[in-house]
Structures are given as structure tokens and as C-alpha cells.
């Protein structure tokens, strides 16, 4: 991990190297600093681990301890065992189709802010990374916290600033993460935190004050905070804050980077853009307002987003921690089985498998037709997992897809996306982040449609 530790290359490149070096193995060993990791590269074995034998692999790896980062560690993502099951069942109703229908107007309002901004900046080189982060920031502030923010007008608002701090890793944060990984006990004793107390205090204060206001004024909104307020269970204020925090942390950067790559691929694939525009225009012609059900009619848009998530998914891998002794089958014919012990960690590969030509021929080609009604049945199970898989699949998947589709739909109706002299193709990933971003940024122009 020398390359990614010292920001020479992306962590994904190191995983890809290990994945590619052993094409006939079901799994291979990988050293993440001092921790041995098993990289699972066989889709059938991934299915067994994440679905059939889930009871052996119920938990994620503990990337953050409660001492180092109470909000991350106390969130649904890192909750374990029965606590995770309870919280998952409490949060699941927030992401049903009926709740999505209520949240859609909030998303459309924020997407219209982006369209309005682009009308005022036609034919300019636009840094897509920053623009998409402002959109996802405002969507989550609205749908998660019930706050109305316009980050295009109030460019240095605290919500956006905190979100950027979470993911624009400094050397200090990077080294703190490494220390937490290598020396968890010592880090706990020394009270080493990845994010400062100001960040935690910001979320605690905003959740506490909003809940207090709603109770006092009898205000109800169709958002995640409302659901948590109504949740039954023995939950502390920190427990509740942690769930809203992870909704923000998980959605802010992953959705933004996915949208950025969608815009990039549309810009460099004009034939895809033409077909997508025709579909969006056809839906618009009935003059009815955009609804959740109408979004599902945009089949080609689905294909475009799915193909983007195949090439550029923010997931990278699905980590699982072994809960009880488990025997992996031999990694190859004639080999010996391997026994996992409680506490051992496996990474079920996502990006590497999605870019494997055995499962997706000519993987570097952007081809939305892979996900068409005629072709999607050809995709082997567990070779496409941008939102994870099994009972731990991303709870916000439906929300994220709605957020992406609304904005792309409105942009397509209003603009032609054009590559410029600053558009990089092919993209090289920025090395000093776990997230998916291009070196030099992602740049396009938006030309108003006649």
C-alpha cells in the first residue's frame, strides 16, 4: 500500500493489481498495512458470503472506533448484530416508494436551482465536481434535516463546508486514519480523532435544535429526521444524530461523484446523449409534472446511470468481518480450503469485477445497452453490485437513484453537454482520496437547447 499511503496512486489501483495478478483464483491475500485481508474475486463465493452465509458475516469492518469518531461508529453502517437489525428496521420505512414520492418535490426544487445556475453560465467551462457536490449537499440538507440551503448562492454555508472537510482528506486526517488502523488501542488511549469535535458538535446541535423546534411547534416534514423522532427504541441523542450524519456522509460525496461521472460519460458519448435526450423529451411532452412513477418510465436513463456505476462505482469493495469460524472453499482446483477466524476481514470485490472482461466484454467501453431489458438478464449475479448486496445492501439506494435521475433528466431537457479543451479522456483517478474523482477535475460546457 505504499502508493496509496503516500498519494502516489489510488487505492483502487492497488486492489486492481492484486485482482489481475491471480486470474484463476477465487480469492487472494492482500496486506493492508499490518492487517491481512482476503480479496474475494469469485462472484459465486461473493453471493455465498453476502447472502447464503450472511450469519457468518453480519458486520462491516470497524474502520472507526466509538472513541475516535462516535458519529461514524454509531451509525447504521458500522452498527453490529442486533443493534444493526433494530436500527435497519426503524430506518427502512424512510426509503419506501411512498416516502420517496413525498421527498421528490424537495429534490426537484434543488435540481431546478442547478438548471437555473447553468442557464446563467452557458458555454462556460464548468467544474462538474464542485457543482454536483453543491447539489447533493442541498438535497441531503433538505431531505435529511429539513433545512433549505442554496449552496450556489450561499457558497460558503456551514453545511457545505463541513461536508467538504469530511472528504477532502488532509495529510493529518490521512495519517490519523492510518494510526487508527495500525494501533487502534493506542489511538483510543491517546484520544486521536479523525474529524475534530467541531464537526461532531455541528451535527449534534443541528439535530437537537431541529427536533426541539418540531416538538414545540408541532411541525412535521417528510424527511429522515421526522422518522427518527417517531422511532421507538432505547436510543440516545447521539444514536439518532449518527443516523442522520451517515445519511449526509454517505450521500454527499458518493452521489456527487456518481453524477459527475454520468455527466462526463454523456459529454464524451454524443450518441448516448442523443438517445437519452429523445427519451427525456418524449416524457416531457405529456405536459404532466414529474412524478416518482414517471421517473421509472425513463428506462434508457436507468441504463446510462447503471453503466456509469459499473465503470465508476464509489463502492470499490464490500467489506465484511467474519463472526464465527468459516471455511472458504479451495481457491483453485486441487488447492486447500482456507479457514477464516472471528475478526478476519474479507473484501468482496466490486469495481474490479465490474471491469473484468469475463463478465463485461470490452469493459472500458461505455455501453448503456448492457442494462437494457433485452440484455440485463445476461449479467451474472454478483458481478454488478454498486450498492452492495445481501441484507447489508445500501438502504438509501432508491433515494440515490431518484436524486441522480431527477437532475440528469432536467439537465437533458435544457442543455447539450459538450466536452471542452479541459475535458480529460481517459480519466485518471486522483490518488489521495478513497472517493472516485478525476485528476485535474471534470470539466464540460452546458449549451442551451433550442
Q: Summarize the annotated binding site for heme as residue ranges.
A: 394
Give the 3-state secondary structure of residue 106.
helix
Strand order, beta sheet including 415-419: 126-127, 443-448, 415-419
Give the 3-state secondary structure of residue 203.
helix
List b or e across 174-193, with b for residues whose CB sees 16 or more CB atoms inside 10 angstroms. bebbebbbeebeebeeeebb
Q: Are 14 and 33 in contact (CB under 8 A)?
A: no
The grid cell for 291 is 412524478
- How far, CA to CA in Å, does 373 sit from each of 64, 90, 161? 41, 34, 42
Give the 3-state secondary structure of residue 212.
helix
Rounded Cα distance between 32 and 407, Å, is 38
**Residues in contact with 77: Cβ distance below 8 Å, sequence separation at least 6, in sequence order:** 60, 246, 250
List residues forming the annotated binding site.
394
φ, ψ of residue 447 in degrees (nearest 5): -100, 130
Amino acid at each position: 500500500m505504499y502508493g496509496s499511503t503516500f498519494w502516489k496512486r489510488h487505492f483502487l489501483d492497488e486492489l486492481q493489481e492484486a485482482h489481475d495478478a491471480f486470474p484463476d483464483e477465487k480469492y487472494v491475500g492482500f496486506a493492508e498495512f499490518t492487517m491481512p485481508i482476503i480479496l474475494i474475486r469469485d462472484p459465486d463465493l461473493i453471493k455465498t458470503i453476502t447472502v447464503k452465509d450472511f450469519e457468518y458475516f453480519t458486520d462491516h469492518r470497524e474502520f472507526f472506533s466509538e472513541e475516535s469518531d462516535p458519529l461514524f461508529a454509531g451509525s447504521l453502517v458500522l452498527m453490529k448484530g442486533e443493534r444493526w437489525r433494530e436500527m435497519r428496521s426503524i430506518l427502512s420505512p424512510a426509503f419506501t416508494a411512498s416516502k420517496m414520492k413525498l421527498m421528490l418535490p424537495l429534490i426537484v426544487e434543488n435540481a431546478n436551482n442547478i438548471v437555473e445556475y447553468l442557464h446563467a453560465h452557458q458555454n462556460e467551462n464548468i467544474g462538474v465536481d464542485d457543482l454536483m457536490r453543491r447539489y447533493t449537499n442541498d438535497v441531503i440538507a433538505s431531505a435529511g434535516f429539513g433545512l433549505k440551503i442554496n449552496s450556489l448562492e450561499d457558497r460558503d454555508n456551514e453545511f457545505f463546508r463541513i461536508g467538504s472537510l469530511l472528504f477532502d482528506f488532509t495529510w493529518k486526517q490521512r495519517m490519523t486514519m492510518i494510526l487508527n488502523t495500525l494501533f487502534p488501542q493506542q489511538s483510543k488511549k491517546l484520544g486521536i480523532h479523525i474529524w475534530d469535535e467541531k464537526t461532531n458538535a455541528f451535527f449534534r446541535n443541528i439535530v437537537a435544535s431541529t427536533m426541539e423546534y418540531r416538538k414545540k411547534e408541532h411541525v412535521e416534514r417528510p424527511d429522515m429526521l421526522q422518522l427518527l423522532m417517531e422511532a421507538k427504541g432505547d436510543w440516545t441523542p447521539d444514536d439518532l444524530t449518527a443516523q442522520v450524519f451517515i445519511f449526509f456522509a454517505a450521500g454527499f460525496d458518493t452521489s456527487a461523484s456518481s453524477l459527475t461521472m454520468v455527466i462526463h460519460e454523456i459529454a464524451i458519448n454524443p450518441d448516448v446523449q442523443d438517445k437519452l435526450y429523445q427519451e427525456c423529451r418524449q416524457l416531457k411532452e405529456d405536459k404532466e409534472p414529474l412524478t416518482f412513477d414517471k421517473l421509472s418510465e425513463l428506462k434508457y436513463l436507468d441504463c446510462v446511470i447503471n453503466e456509469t456505476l459499473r465503470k465508476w462505482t464509489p463502492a470499490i469493495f464490500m467489506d465484511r468481518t467474519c463472526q464465527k469460524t468459516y471455511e472458504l472453499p479451495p481457491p483453485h482446483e486441487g488447492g486447500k480450503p482456507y479457514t477464516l477466524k472471528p475478526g478476519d476481514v474479507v473484501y468482496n470485490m466490486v469495481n474490479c469485477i465490474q471491469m473484468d472482461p469475463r463478465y463485461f466484454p470490452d469493459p472500458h467501453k461505455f455501453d448503456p445497452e448492457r442494462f437494457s431489458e433485452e440484455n440485463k438478464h445476461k449479467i451474472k449475479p454478483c458481478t454488478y453490485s454498486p450498492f452492495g448486496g445481501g441484507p447489508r445492501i445500501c438502504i438509501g439506494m432508491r433515494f440515490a437513484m431518484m436524486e441522480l435521475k431527477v437532475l440528469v433528466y432536467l439537465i437533458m431537457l435544457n442543455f447539450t453537454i459538450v466536452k471542452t479543451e479541459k475535458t480529460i479522456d481517459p480519466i485518471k483517478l486522483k490518488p489521495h482520496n478513497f472517493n472516485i474523482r478525476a485528476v485535474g477535475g471534470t470539466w464540460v460546457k452546458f449549451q442551451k437547447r433550442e
